[in-house]
Structure 1
Amino acid sequence: MAGDWRPVLARSVTLRHDRVRGVDLLVLPERVVVLRGSAGSVVGLCDGEREVEEIVGELARLHPDAPVADEVPGFLAALRAEGWLR
């Protein structure tokens, strides 16, 4: 993954919160992806302004005991591979 990548949702993808189910969703054309756990919080930081390292740093600050440095870059890369992040 490029060190200067500033992830942002693809143009056809929106992040929504389903208050009834209490989950975050990625809404795509003709498809909805349910985000479990803290995935919605991670995606919410993908604003096109922050580099991956900055997102990891912010999450590490908010959740000091979580393995964000190990998990978040791979998660973001998987979303990019799906075409949901650019």
Structure 2
Amino acid sequence: MSLSAYDRIPHIRRGFRLQWEPVQDCHVLLYPEGMITLNASAGEILLQVDGRRDTAAIIAELERRYPDIPGVAADILAFLEIAHAQLWIEFQQAGA
């Protein structure tokens, strides 16, 4: 059975760590070979990626926080696909 994009549970990949970097004034992803500087939107999305909530729950939370921004769901889905392609995050099935 294939999961929809909304049913997948994203988690930050092992070896990566999300943190606030005061010197850079932004969130960054740290990994053994370096650091990825994130823009504000990417940081907000990855802050929601806790390995417990599915994509639908993350979208619902960010739509609640930012009700005046159109297209939030599409932007989140697109970012998560990019983050997955870049190997920053992985997806798992509920209950896996």
More relative contact order in 1 or in 2 (CA 8 Å, sep 6+)? 2
- 1:77 has 2:62 as partner: no
Would you identify which runs of 4 or more consecutive aligned residues in structure 1 move more than 4 Å? none
Aligned to 2:94: none
Q: What one-letter code is carried by the residue in structure 2 that aligns with 1:35?
A: L
Q: Which runs of 5+ in 2 are unaligned?
A: 91-96
Q: Aligned pair count?
A: 86
- Flag the structure with larger Rg: 2
Q: How does 1:40-59 map to 2 (within 5 A)?
A: 40-59=43-62
Percent identity over the alignment? 33
TM-score norm. by structure 2 comes to 0.83
Shift of residue 19, structure 1, vs aligned partner: 1.1
Alignment RMSD: 1.2
Q: Which runs of 5+ in 1 are unaligned?
A: none
Q: What one-letter code is carried by the residue in structure 2 that aligns with 1:14?
A: R
| Structure with greater strand share of residues | 2
